[in-house]
């Protein structure tokens, strides 16, 4: 047996030394010598869909909520991760709208069932019913299965866990940072904490994200001037600081209208997309431009080599229809799907309003009407 083994080894050695050029197939022992190397596996794509301000004004309380997001439910449920700004507390009855919101608990359950996975809670209305209202809100969110939230936290331990909130999807770890310029009512307590637009606090959260292996960091600031189609100097300064500090994408809220989009280019070659405001996802607001919004999709691609890339974001214009306009209730619809359906409106003049608003906001904010993906504007 041993003699036969030695002979085989000698023959193999002689074959190898006699060859002027080694056969590449013998240099790759994990391949069969007569097979071509297998191509790398197909890349995984993670789609994160983001909605703007989900609101519940007093008149909305008079209507069943089921139609509100029915027009985009399929898109939300198809996303790998869906995020929305919930601009209200769940403070219990009596239920009220603006200026001091208190929304039924069932609305949060409905939003979850429509496909939203992450609630953003740091906004100017979260303290509308004081500390007790905030405590109750977070307690309700804690009972909802399949829901995570960020922006507010009940304790130091919860703050560390949710700021940043890191979500792993298909092997990609995405850190979410949510913070607000302030609240409508003064905060005279430490806990629960509301994440503020404080650079030291944000920088600490960014460091935690990197230390915990985040592949990408997305910031969701609540900022800016209401009803303005262009961002202000304060937003620009903060956006550039966030980009330099390591944030990979920025999606803002608060102005209740769509604001402009830009790509911040850094000296190291990084390009950070910034949507300054998405507008209202659903509300009873009817002031000029407040019924139009963007639904943004951030796509992260991981190839077979493990490289992860943030692709050009996608932006879809939505329109919030009011009762008696398209249907008997509120319903947010994708404009592209309804562009040629004027005859379906109960009040066709509202279709005309939608298209005129789209043209006006598109020009004012500088975001094309038919935008599917955005590179550099």
Task: Annotate 166-213 with DSSP letters as a single string.
Answer: EEEETTEEEEEEEEES--SS----SSSEE-BS-HHHHHHHHHHHHHTT
- Strand ranges for 212-284 from DSSP E: 216-222, 249-251, 261-265, 271-275, 280-282
Nearest to 27 by CA among 11, 38, 16: 16
Q: How confident is the model at residue 86 (pLDDT cuts 50, 70, 90)?
A: very high
Q: How far apart are CA 338 and CA 317, in angstroms?
A: 11
Nearest to 139 by CA among 129, 127, 150, 154: 154
Q: How confident is the model at residue 4 (pLDDT cuts 50, 70, 90)?
A: very low
Q: Can you read off the two tokens belonging to residue 129?
A: 């019913």
Q: How confident is the model at residue 32 (pLDDT cuts 50, 70, 90)?
A: very low
Q: Is the pLDDT assigned to residue 44 strictly greater than 90?
A: no
Q: Is the pLDDT assigned to residue 125 strictly greater than 60?
A: yes
Please state the rounded mean pLDDT for residues 237-262: 98
- The better pLDDT of the pair 302, 16 is held by 302
Q: Can you tell me which residue has the tokens 């963007």? A: 294
Is the distance from CB of 319 to CB of 351 less than 8 angstroms? Answer: no
Q: How far apart are CA 266 and CA 247, in angstroms?
A: 12
Please state the rounded mean pLDDT for residues 325-340: 97
Q: How far apart are CA 173 and CA 171, in angstroms?
A: 6
Please state the rounded mean pLDDT for residues 29-45: 44
Q: Is the pLDDT assigned to residue 358 strictly greater than 60?
A: yes
What is the DSSP secondary structure assignment for residue 43, as one 8-state letter?
P
The answer to whether domain 44-365 has CATH 3.60.21 is yes
In this prediction, residue 306 carries a pLDDT of 84
Altogether, the residues listed in the chain come to a count of 377
Helix axes 233-245, 199-211, angle to 10 degrees: 30
In this prediction, residue 24 carries a pLDDT of 24
Region of poorest pLDDT, from 17-26, 70-79, 154-163, 257-266: 17-26
Average pLDDT over the chain, rounded to an integer: 89
Nearest 5°: CA angle at 72, between 57 and 282? 15
| Percent of the chain clearing pLDDT 90 (strictly above) | 83
In this prediction, residue 60 carries a pLDDT of 98
Nearest to 117 by CA among 202, 47, 36, 188: 47
Q: Is the pLDDT assigned to residue 36 strictly greater than 60?
A: no
The neighbour count for residue 91, using CB atoms within 10 Å, is 23
Q: How confident is the model at residue 303 (pLDDT cuts 50, 70, 90)?
A: confident
What is the DSSP secondary structure assignment for residue 170, as one 8-state letter?
T
Q: Is the pLDDT assigned to residue 48 strictly greater than 80?
A: yes
Q: Can you tell me which residue has the tokens 């790509």? A: 263
In this prediction, residue 304 carries a pLDDT of 81
Q: How confident is the model at residue 375 (pLDDT cuts 50, 70, 90)?
A: low
Q: Can you read off the two tokens belonging to residue 289?
A: 């431009």
In this prediction, residue 377 carries a pLDDT of 35
């Amino acid at each position: 047996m041993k003699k036969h083994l030695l002979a085989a080894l000698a023959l193999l050695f002689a074959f190898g030394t006699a060859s002027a050029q080694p056969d590449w197939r013998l240099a790759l022992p994990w391949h069969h010598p007569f097979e071509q190397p297998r191509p790398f596996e197909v890349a995984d794509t993670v789609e994160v869909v983001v909605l703007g301000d989900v609101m519940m004004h007093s008149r909305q309380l008079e209507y069943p909520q089921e139609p509100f997001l029915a027009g985009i439910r399929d898109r939300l449920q198809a996303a790998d991760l869906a995020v929305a700004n919930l601009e209200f507390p769940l403070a219990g009855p009596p239920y009220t709208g603006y200026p001091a919101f208190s929304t039924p608990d069932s609305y949060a359950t409905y939003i979850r069932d429509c496909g939203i996975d992450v609630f953003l809670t740091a906004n100017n209305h979260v303290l509308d019913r004081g500390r007790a209202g905030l405590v109750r809100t977070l307690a309700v969110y804690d009972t909802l299965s399949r829901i995570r939230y960020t922006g507010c936290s009940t304790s130091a331990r919860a703050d560390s866990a949710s700021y940043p909130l890191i979500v792993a999807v298909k092997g990609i770890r995405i850190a979410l940072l949510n913070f607000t310029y302030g609240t409508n009512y003064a905060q005279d307590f430490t806990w629960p904490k509301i994440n503020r637009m404080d650079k030291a606090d944000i920088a600490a959260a960014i460091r935690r994200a990197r230390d915990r292996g985040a592949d990408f960091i997305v910031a969701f600031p609540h900022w800016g001037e209401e009803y303005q189609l262009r961002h202000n100097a304060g937003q620009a300064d903060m956006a550039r600081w966030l980009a330099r500090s390591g944030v990979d994408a920025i999606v803002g809220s608060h102005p209740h209208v769509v604001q402009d989009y830009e790509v911040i280019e850094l000296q190291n070659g990084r390009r950070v997309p910034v949507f300054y405001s998405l507008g209202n996802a659903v509300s009873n607001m009817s002031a000029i431009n407040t019924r139009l919004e963007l639904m943004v999709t951030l796509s992260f691609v991981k190839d077979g080599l493990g490289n992860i890339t943030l692709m050009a974001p996608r932006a879809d214009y939505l329109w919030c229809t009011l009762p008696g306009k398209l249907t008997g209730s509120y319903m947010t619809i994708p404009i592209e799907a309804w562009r040629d359906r004027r005859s379906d409106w109960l009040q066709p003049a509202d279709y005309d309003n939608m298209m005129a608003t789209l043209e006006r906001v598109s020009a004012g904010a500088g975001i094309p009407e038919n935008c599917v993906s955005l590179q550099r504007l």
